[in-house]
Amino acid sequence: MNKLEYRPDIDGLRAIAVLAVIIFHMNPEWLPGGFIGVDIFFVISGYLITTIIYREMKQGTFSFQNFYKRRIKRILPVFFVVIFSTLLISFIIMLPRDIYLLAHSAFNAFIFFSNIYFTKFGGYFDSPETFPLLHTWSLSVEEQYYLIWPVILLILLKMGFKYKNFLKLIILLMLGSFIGAHLLSGSDEYSTLSYYLLPTRGGELLIGSLLAFIHSNKDKINHKFTALSSVLGMALILASLVFINKSSVFPGINAFWPTLGAALIIYGSRDSFINKFLSLKFLVYIGLISYSLYLWHWPILAFLRYLSPHVDKSLSLSSIIIAGILTFVCSILSYHFVEQPTRRLNFNFTQMVKYYLIIPAIFLTLICGVIHKTKGNFVAFNSKLVKYVSQGTCFNQSKKNCSIDSFKANKQASQLVLLQGDSHAAHFEHFFRKAFQANKNYNFHLIASGACNIERDLSTISNSPKEKKLCKANNDIYSQVLNNYSTVIFAGRWDDSLFANKNNKGILTKNYTKKLNNLFEKLDNKRKKVVILGQVPKYDIDINKNELVLKKFGLNTKYKIDDNYIKANNKLKNIANQFKNVYFLDFDEFFHNNGSYSPYDENGIILYKDYHHLNLHGAEFLAKKFLNSSKYQSFKTFLEQ
């Protein structure tokens, strides 16, 4: 970096980028396109890194050891501080299931693989507050670029590549990346991959690299254009911040405009009023601490959202102010007491790797290994937390005739029953295991995967490619094996399928209703017995979190029923009544305690995994209630008629 002329306006541009990201994460309505700040960072990184390594390669002074020593010194010290701090705080305020996920994301962040890891969990904008390290995906993209790009440059220089050849190659790669990103981002199946992965993000870094090559040949710079360049660049960034939003096709062409804007500002004249504005001391200082700001802001916001008892995770103004203060305090401290001291260290490559990579990596691996082995239960809640029933035999698998545990031996059972659906079908797995384990006439099979409710459009179930692929596979298996069963039981999160989301005020989705009618009519004609399991009561808060976490901080709140599930059950009951061989089984009455809904049993033990899934104890509780009611005999009569 000491060979590169310092430009305060670039630090000012960093400030704009990081403030945009932070504001967006605090409240997307305040700055709809604030997430493009990450793309501006990509341009700056591509420009600075390519300028440094290309200059050194041309001078014959480049070495991979020196390059990666600088990267370790710049990135890892505060990076590990944030990761260890995040894990430590999670032990205090998170449930074991969430600590477990955090540990996995922490390990993937350390090996700079988190952009690939997070593709499993849906889109960036859909990811829950249980991922306080979600933002490390962008660091993974950059580090992957730093591993590949210097090698490519060195090989091409040894092959005799000249200035024009580099420009042509970079432009070709850049355009390919943007075009590919745009095509994939418009696809339901690949949009998540497009958002997170290097091939579709590399074009943004390559814009910076292209600019580095242009600046390396000062004779090619058009000084007349530099006077207007910064103005045009800032206009593109401001327009992107306002007009691009999380519903836009992104990345792709919409990512091109802000990244082009960033490149134009860097290309622009330092005498431009835009560049002078970006060189103001307060902006430069924010730019200097921008790496720390970026690392700290998301875990702080994620933990504050985590401590909100309600399903809606929007932050209050007071929480946003607290988050802002904490972010700046932590960032200022880490900049002055972690970043700056380590930059001044005169360690050689071996020492840097030993003290700032290997030793912290060993500690992190041990911690994450213990969390993985214990499923996060090594910290607390061991006696109170009941595991989620979907960890059973068949959920989230693609298998024909996947028998629920208790029924594996019942090969000659007279009643072959197929249970199909999403995670709600999974939480009934243990219910059927307990309710029918003594009856050898039944053999229950399960075909279920996350968000895969029957007849639901694959494009609406999730942004996770893995989840969509699994759902499609299970739907295919369902079609293949259907004729083997006398009875089909459907379970699902019906309110999520039958009604639009809460922002649309529970408007009935007529298309899905029509699909269900058509399905039941076809099965009725095939003389199949069909059972629709009613959705269990759904609450507006996470019961486990409220009881086991929030009470410790005095943040617990009273729960109330989300009545969309009641509307969904009533709708399904009306549909079932239209068909002779369709039976609707409602469990609502079993969750009444002293005349009102309760998420606890008579002894005060929690029945829920979150706010709408039963845990193992809840499934057993429901099975006992069901067996002691008239509904059990009525249900058996329907199955055996």
- Whether domain 389-640 has CATH 3.40.50.1110: the reply is yes
pLDDT > 90? residue 303: yes
Residue closest to 403 by CA, chosen among 424, 418, 422: 418
pLDDT at 511: 82
Other beta carbons within 10 Å of 279: 18
Mean pLDDT is lowest, of 160-164, 201-205, 353-357, 565-569, for 160-164
Could you tell me if 267 and 226 are in contact, meaning their C-beta atoms sit under 8 angstroms apart?
yes
Tokens of 138: 């962008």
Could you tell me if 441 and 639 are in contact, meaning their C-beta atoms sit under 8 angstroms apart?
no
pLDDT at 309: 73
pLDDT at 127: 63
Domain ranges of the chain: 8-374, 389-640
Q: What percent of the chain has pLDDT over 90?
A: 61
Could you tell me if 201 and 141 are in contact, meaning their C-beta atoms sit under 8 angstroms apart?
yes
pLDDT at 200: 97
Please indicate whether residue 608 or residue 414 has the higher confidence score (pLDDT).
608
**Structure confidence at residue 466 as a pLDDT band (50, 70, 90):** confident
Tokens of 378: 């090594």
pLDDT at 409: 52
**Structure confidence at residue 188 as a pLDDT band (50, 70, 90):** confident
pLDDT at 604: 85
pLDDT at 256: 97
Go through 339-378 and write b for each residue having 16 or more CB atoms within 10 A of its CB, e for each that does not.
beebeeeeeebeebbebbeeebbeebeebbeebeeeebbe
Could you tell me if 189 and 468 are in contact, meaning their C-beta atoms sit under 8 angstroms apart?
yes
Mean pLDDT is lowest, of 146-155, 184-193, 234-243, 606-615, for 184-193
pLDDT > 70? residue 13: yes
67-107 tens-digit pLDDT: 999 999 999 999 999 999 999 999 988 888 889 999 999 99
Taking all residues of the chain, what is their mean pLDDT, rounded to a whole number? 88
Could you tell me if 487 and 639 are in contact, meaning their C-beta atoms sit under 8 angstroms apart?
yes
pLDDT > 50? residue 48: yes
Q: Residue 214 carries which side chain, given as an amino acid letter?
A: I
pLDDT at 431: 92
**Structure confidence at residue 411 as a pLDDT band (50, 70, 90):** low
Please indicate whether residue 95 or residue 113 has the higher confidence score (pLDDT).
113
pLDDT at 399: 79
556-603 tens-digit pLDDT: 778 889 888 999 999 999 999 999 899 999 999 999 887 789 999 888
Find the helix or strand (DSSP H, E) in which 213 lies.
Answer: helix 198-216
pLDDT > 90? residue 538: yes
